[in-house]
Chains A and B, each alone.
Chain A
Amino acid sequence: MIVNEAAETPVDNLLLTNAAHADVLAGGCACCDGREAFVALLRTICGMRDAQGAGAFDQIVLETSGLADPGAIATAISGDQMLARRLIVEDVIVLVDACHGAAQLSDEALCRAQIEAADRIIITKSDEPSARDTDRLIQTLKLLNPSANIEGAEKGVPVKLPAHDDATPYPLSGSGIETVPIKPHRLDISGGGGWASFSVWLSAVLTARGNDIVRVKGVVGSPDGRLLLQSVRNVVQPPEILPEPDDTGNGFLAPAEGVIVLIGRHIDEPTLERSWQKFVMGTGS
């Protein structure tokens, strides 16, 4: 476990006693000024793991500073030759304070970037505001990131969230902030030439639209086996070869092969389909 504090004096680490191993990275945020120290620490941890041999840990938990952009952290990992080979960003978990979440979402671009990058959103202190306000917050989060799982927790213990789907989301109007919400878009590429062809098209799409397409997920066939595709903004994780379907791996529920989900704004399914047909399949117009 790595605890990152943007402040010079670490305090959060005093609360962490159960982690198998904890490192504190203080005095700089891993996504920006602390980036070099963060990359160096990860390299050291990978080296330690090699020395441990069998029984070594297989997961690193990074608790970022509250000001970190998950996209920039993914970029830091994939930009390092050694780390890119060894680490996969598996799950981006974002905590939202039920009392302040709505105000932060309306004013802070960083807060929205964090929500958009999340695989799981955990709402804390959900019993402090009225159930109606928590409902509105949940609907706002669903609007911003329709594909994330939203859960409640208090000091690490899951709590039930109110569930009124008819609550009105808070208006998202902050000045200078992108107000078009992201949406998931599906693209069926099962009729095409697999990863070798699809990745050509996708690399062009992400180079042009990396700021609008916040996540891409899917399973794509290749000569070496099924590849798991995951991206955060324009950073694509080194694709992993998945075990065959009868072997479920580490509880990972692989989506159907050949269906890609692109989560983003200013894109639509008919255009994705037409573009894929025209450029990858060489058909249509």
Chain B
Amino acid sequence: MCSACGFPALAGHWSDAGVSSPGDKMRIRFTRLAIVNRLLKPYRLAAHDDGATPGFQLLAPDGARVMVKNLEELWKEAGRIAGTAVDPLSARALGDE
């Protein structure tokens, strides 16, 4: 509960909705990480989730690591490192170039 307004606190980013039980949360974490990594691969990036802290670690090709809080931050930071937006509908992501 949020002490200011008495409503349940936001789970975080909108993408984190719909999963409140800790068991479900653990299960989906790895499914989601696999999708994130499939999307990052064409941009030579990868993400890591230690299973303990919220958010992800983004791994750049030069070995640099950046902590991001949620998916939106992850895509923005990945786009910044790659020099182009991580776009699931683009020819690059779909392997058409």
Contacts and interface: CB of A to CB of B under 8 A. Distances in A.
- Best-surrounded residue of B7, B18, B20, B93 (most CB of chain A within 10 A): B18
B5 A196 contact: no
Nearest to A43: B5
A204 B31 contact: no
A275 B86 CA distance: 13
Contacts of B87: 204-205, 208-209
A217 B40 CA distance: 26
A227 B17 contact: yes
A10 interface: no
Contacts of A168: none
Interface residues of A, number: 43
A275 B71 contact: no
Interface stretch (A57-65, A232-240, A252-260): A232-240
- Best-surrounded residue of A224, A241, A267 (most CB of chain B within 10 A): A224
A165 B90 CA distance: 35
A222 B89 contact: no
B35 interface: yes
Contact of B90 (A50, A84, A208): A208
Contacts of B36: 200
Interface in A261-280: 267, 271-272, 274-275, 278-280
Interface string A184-217: 0000000001111101111111011100000000
A170 B20 CA distance: 50
B32 interface: yes
Interface residues of B, number: 40
B10 A203 contact: no
B3 to A, nearest CB: 12
Given A46-B5, A208-B75, A271-B94, A201 B35 contact: yes
A204 B71 contact: yes
B34 interface: yes
B71 A199 contact: yes
Given A203-B15, A207-B72, A279-B39, A82 B24 contact: no
Interface of B: 2, 4-10, 13-21, 24, 28, 31-32, 34-36, 38-39, 71-72, 75-76, 79, 85-90, 93-95
